[in-house]
Structure 1
């Protein structure tokens, strides 16, 4: 498989960036003029779909897409596994201490939140309104990446689009897995203390582990000092109700993590996970910001230009809104930004191991080096252009014209990716 795009946009066209920013602007009409939004949004979706379909017959790199299909599918399976682990972890950290802890534990002090509140008093009201505006959300960043990947049909970024998508999904899977490991390791109180009671049905009392290892020492500094000295849980836990035990068959072991109540006894374990959503505890680091940063990194690397700078501005706007609306603490957004940058750079080291496209171009350039130098000395620009065109064409692999298998693959790819996009928008709206 060839590498994901590493070059800036081709041909100097800014069309993709204009379309992307226009999409975000039109979608914001839902707040300014719902009537116009209802008219324009379906037209925009239809226009984007038509733009994809009409270019399919002219796309010359389906063989490259075919080579990238297996890593793409494997990346999806990996990310789904990471999301399953994350969903179990979200429910677990909410349930382990019980609703009484959520209701009675104050949020952590957050200097970033204080700073934004102070800026509200100092900045012009127009600027404050812009900072508060819901300009961009998670589904916008997903859509921006989808547009970037499909732009291979217009040669805006380097093929294969599935290769870029595979790297994006794989990197996101790593990020979500590391995120779940982080927030399940140390449970942090929510910036919204009422959230758990409003969204979850879990026991009010803590899990037996918390009863033994946390509750007796949580509010007594002398008890904490003694447990440090003894390194043994010495206190006797109080009397608590016994947790409800559902009948989930082979999945009964999940009851210890998910802690369903009797009122949820008829629900299956995966129905509880669907209700977990984005969780209520502070989940270090922010999943929304991870998606935003990965989209910005992919856009900057594959396309570049003014639009990538605008997307980074939208990332910053989204970060301050996450803090301002107390979906996350400041540290969650800060860590998500540098984790997203780090993970994207890290995967570039081995995704793929060998850049076959670049290797072919270098080999061709070595073969025509003398001819290119001679043409340059003779000021024969037509010859120079022809030689450089040969170098570019040497990196391209085209499918056999009229191949039925390739047509079938192209149709299946477009259909599958569109279905995947719709599922992503439907199922991941809460992060």
Structure 2
């Protein structure tokens, strides 16, 4: 049998390795901002333009817009679900910081963290070059988001299986579930920050605790006898101390959020959602890590959809990100470990029942079962024309009937590309600060 032409082999190599090379190039060029800001300013715009042009050029040759159209509605619903989960998380972030007051954050020491101790010990044992590598800010949150966006766009180059919007919908739905479970976890038990000064530096909330905390927590927090007494009677018995009255903003129908957000008089004149913009990643410990959840979901998507050496590199970057989160005391070790567990678990769990699957795969497999004997006989007879004819039947059987007109698909493809580019821009502008 003759080997395929050089041009065909080159296309296969680009399809199988091009995405990985582009991903490594993106992370490497972006890291130049720390090594050589001048070269970073020159190369990064060129890389962005090259990636955008490559994607746009491939749009007319993409054959699976009908699959993308079928996945569009679940994609939009997944976006809305994820945004709702992020809104709940943002309110929860502000609430767990505000409910105890700034004095508690300033005075409460961090929890003992064996992972932090281990990293400090390794700094004394490892060569300085390796320590510098571990400390380097090689990859951040917006990098992982961009890597996934590149993975989704790679359907245009047949690097991953279509539909790309289906993969994006699953990613965002899983992200929404993960962020929702995370918010429920950290709002249930409030843990002190690994950075005690953070809350005072970033939040304008009252120094004193919320009335609930004044009644159910403060009188017993530092008195073991009082805790033993309340366990025995199971009833709050202490008298609440004298504290300032709570400020009531004028937020109309949203005034119920004042109990959760606790604005000061200077912030109360602003709309309620303006406070959430300042929440960011929060200050006190938010178990489990949201940054690591994004990193793990990106790595899981790459491993399942693309595989190869790039997936192994991304998992190495995930491990690097985890130790840096602990080293820089953005999170405790348990937060990063749980985020890795939860990211893997949620991706697998959602994948079991995720409805946005390419039905053409099952159709092709069914057709292949039916013609298996004929295909084997043709191969034994060395009848390659017959083999190609049978394989073409398998491919045709898996194609989804295009119910939409060609013009409608072109409009949809243009709108999808425009929307995707807007998402890329928002990912860069909104996630640089974490």
The answer, yes or no, to whether TM exceeds 0.5 is yes
Cross-structure match for 1:85: 88
1:141 alignment partner in structure 2: 144
1:380 deviates by: 4.0
Are the aligned partners of 1:179 and 1:284 in contact in 2 as well (CA < 8 Å)?
yes
User: Which of 123, 126, 129 is the matching residue for 1:126?
Assistant: 129
Q: Quickly say closer, same or farther: Cα 1:70–1:400, change in 2 above 3 A.
A: closer
| Mapping 1:167-186, distance limit 5 Å | 167-186=170-189
Determine the C-alpha separation between the residues in 1 that align with 2:108 and 2:365: 61
Give the distance between the partners of 1:372 and 1:11, measured in 2 at CA: 30
Q: What are the Cα deviations for residues 345-400 of structure 1, in whole angstroms up to 9, with x where unaligned?
A: 00111111765122211221123112112123334455435433442343233758
Looking at structure 2, the residues matched to 131 and 393 of structure 1 have their Cα atoms a distance apart, in angstroms, of 51
Q: Deviations over 1:30-54 (max 9, x none)?
A: 0000000000000011011101110
Q: Pick from 13, 21, 26 the counterpart of residue 23 of structure 1.
A: 26
Distance 2:120 2:371 in 1: 63
C-alpha contact 1:10 1:156 (8 A) present in aligned 2:
no
In the TM superposition, residue 401 of structure 1 has moved relative to its aligned partner by 10
Deviation by residue 1:311-335 (Cα, 9 ceiling, x = unmatched): 0000000000000000000000000
Q: CA deviation at 1:263?
A: 1.6
**Aligned with 1:351 (options 329, 350, 354):** 354
User: For residues 416 and 217 of structure 1, do their structure 2 counterparts lie closer, same or farther at Cα, with a shift above 3 Å needed?
Assistant: same
* 2:54 matches 1:34: no
Contact 1:69/1:162 (CA < 8 Å) preserved in 2?
A: yes
Indicate the larger mover: 418-427 or 331-340.
Answer: 418-427
**Equivalent residue number for residue 6 of structure 2:** none
- Is this contact kept in 2: 1:217–1:224, CA < 8 A? yes
Q: TM-score when scaled to structure 1?
A: 0.95
C-alpha separation in 2, matches of 1:81 and 1:296? 24
Aligned equivalents of 1:385 and 1:345: distance in 2? 36
The partner residue of 2:65 within 62, 65, 83 is 62
Q: Deviations over 1:43-96 (max 9, x none)?
A: 011011101110111111111000000000000000000000000000000000
| Alignment root-mean-square deviation, CA | 1.7
Contact 1:60 1:398 in 2 (8 A): no
Could you list the per-position Cα deviations for residues 132-161 of structure 1 after superposition, in whole angstroms to 9, with x for gaps in the alignment? 000000011001000000000000000000
- Mapped contact 1:62–1:398 kept (Cα < 8 A): no
Q: How does 1:388-407 map to 2 (within 5 A)?
A: 388-397=391-400, 399=402, 403-407=406-410
Deviation at 1:426, TM superposition (A): 1.9
Task: Give the corresponding residue for 1:106.
Answer: 109
Q: Which runs of 5+ in 1 are unaligned?
A: 1-8
For residues 288-329 of structure 1, what are the alpha-carbon distances to aligned partners after superposition, in whole Å with 9 as ceiling and x for unaligned? 000000000000000000000000000000000000000000
Q: Secondary structure at the match of 2:284?
A: coil
Question: Which residue in the other structure is 1:3 paired with?
Answer: none
Distance 2:390 2:124 in 1: 62
The separation in 1 between residues aligned to 2:166 and 2:38, in whole angstroms, is: 39
CA deviation string 1:97-154 (max 9, x = no partner): 0000000000000000000000000001000000000000001100100000000000
TM-score (norm 2): 0.94
The correspondence of residues 361-372 of structure 1 with structure 2, limited to 5 A, is: 361-372=364-375
Contact 2:162 2:358 in 1 (8 A): no
Cα deviation, 1:202-257, whole Å, max 9, x if unaligned, reads: 00000000000000000001111111000000111110000111100111000010
Name the CA distance, whole Å, in 2 between partners of 1:110 and 1:218.
22
CA–CA separation in structure 2 for the residues paired with 1:354 and 1:153: 18
1:164 to 167, 177, 187: 167
> Structure 1: how far apart are the matches of 2:323 and 2:386?
53
Aligned residue number for residue 246 of structure 2:
243
Specify the alignment match of 2:236 in structure 1.
233
Deviating more after overlay: 14-23 vs 373-382: 373-382
Task: Write the distance in 2 (CA, Å) between the matches of 1:426 and 1:149.
Answer: 20
Question: 2-side partners of 1:105 and 1:121: how far apart?
Answer: 29
1:106 aligned counterpart, secondary structure: coil
**In 2, are the aligned partners of 1:85 and 1:180 still within 8 Å (CA)?**
yes
1:5 paired residue number: none
- 8 Å Cα contact 1:138/1:429 also seen in 2: yes
Structure 1 contact 83–173 (Cα < 8 Å) conserved: yes
Q: Are 2:146 and 2:427, in contact at CA under 8 Å, matched by a contact in 1? A: no
